[in-house]
Amino acid sequence: MSYRTQLFQFHEKTSRLTDFAGFQMPLWYDSIISECSAVRNRVGVFDISHMGRIFVTGHDAERFLNYVTTNNVEALKPNHAQYTLICNWEGGIKDDLVIMKLDGQEYLIVCNAGNRQKDLSWLKENSRGYNVNLREVSDEVAMISIQGPKAPHTLQKLLEDDLSTMVRFDCKYVEIAGSKCVLSRTGYTGEDGFEICVLDTSISNPANALKIWDMTLKAGEEYGLKPCGLGARDVLRLEAGMCLYGSDITESTDPLEARLEFVVKFEKGDFIGKDAMLKRKEAGVKRRRVGLRMVGRGIPREKNRILKNGEVIGTVTSGTYSPTLNVGIAMGYISTEYSDVGKKVYIEIHGKPVEAEVVNLPFYDTKLYGLKRLK
């Protein structure tokens, strides 16, 4: 069974389609390379409606979310969002997600497309004893992501609220073209950008979602906006050093070795996976997620082995050609003794060891690209 998002009628006419987590999604429209360039230098727009969305409400919503996720939900202010993880009892990562705090005890969770069912079941299973209401709205809600240095300029044309008052990870209810939406200053590219959840729309009548998509394309025209597919999305997130669930993080990786400890708040009280993670922390991590940049010729790919002195010291979990840097880049897990920045290792590509270097994330020069670029 293959699902389609509310914007499928646009993709069908304009893109090369691919299957992703059971959805027929655009892989690219014109070109992955030019779509990446649009986002890094101007602005791009993505359909991310395939992602999962769950409203969590009720008297115990905050306490419940604090128990099932690793970041501190109590510290979350209204109209603000946080990146966080759901872990299993062994401390393995079940999913990475964004939680938005809207009004009072109303939260909106955005999770990975492939984890929609798994997350919902897990949340339900662990909600016993909590006065919470879980409302999964993934199919009813469309989601559009506008990314790149010209994202604010593009989006500002579509709504009255002053976007300059929103900082990174702020979120709020807004009205766009007459539709109620949840807007957040978030993204998966390393660039400034916004994600819009269009609430007044549905699979059977996606007119409002299509309208906002079309308006965005038009508003961005003067900046050279491009619709972007999942190909560019994957390259951009990897260039930014962000994890892809299912590849870089799974139930068999923990937040410590994945270097996601910054969203694990051990001091906040009890939460699922805490004890297991503390034990792992005490024992010390044996491997670490690192960025790898090719020194020799070749493009690293998922599952390539990482070698040193003829021994296997790790595995590539994501690899691609980076159009921004014009070189092969990868993320993978390496034994801690080789995981320091500057260490030289070999990646086995088509049976041949090719030299690579452990580098800082993100891969790009942050003075030139990304959120913190010099204007």
Partner 1 sequence: MKIEEYDVPESLYYTKDHEWLRLEGENCVIGVTDYAQKTLHEVVFVDLPERGRKVSKAESLGTVESVKAVSDYFAPVSGEIIEVNSILSTKPDLINKSPYGEGWIAIIKPSNLEVELKDLMDSKEYYQYLKSLIEK
- The residues that touch partner 1, with contacts defined as CB under 8 A, are 16, 27-28, 31-33, 231, 234-235, 297-299, 301, 320-321, 323, 328, 350
Smallest distance, partner 1 to C-beta of residue 16, A: 7
Smallest distance, partner 1 to C-beta of residue 43, A: 20
Q: Which is nearer to partner 1, 38 or 54 (CB)?
A: 38
Please give the Cα distance from 123 to 115 (Å, whole number).
12
Smallest distance, partner 1 to C-beta of residue 38, A: 15
Smallest distance, partner 1 to C-beta of residue 147, A: 18
Smallest distance, partner 1 to C-beta of residue 24, A: 16
Q: Which is nearer to partner 1, 139 or 302 (CB)?
A: 302
Q: Which is nearer to partner 1, 18 or 156 (CB)?
A: 18
Q: Which is nearer to partner 1, 39 or 108 (CB)?
A: 39
Nearest to 35 by CA among 24, 20, 25, 45: 45
Q: Which is nearer to partner 1, 28 or 64 (CB)?
A: 28
Q: Which is nearer to partner 1, 32 or 141 (CB)?
A: 32
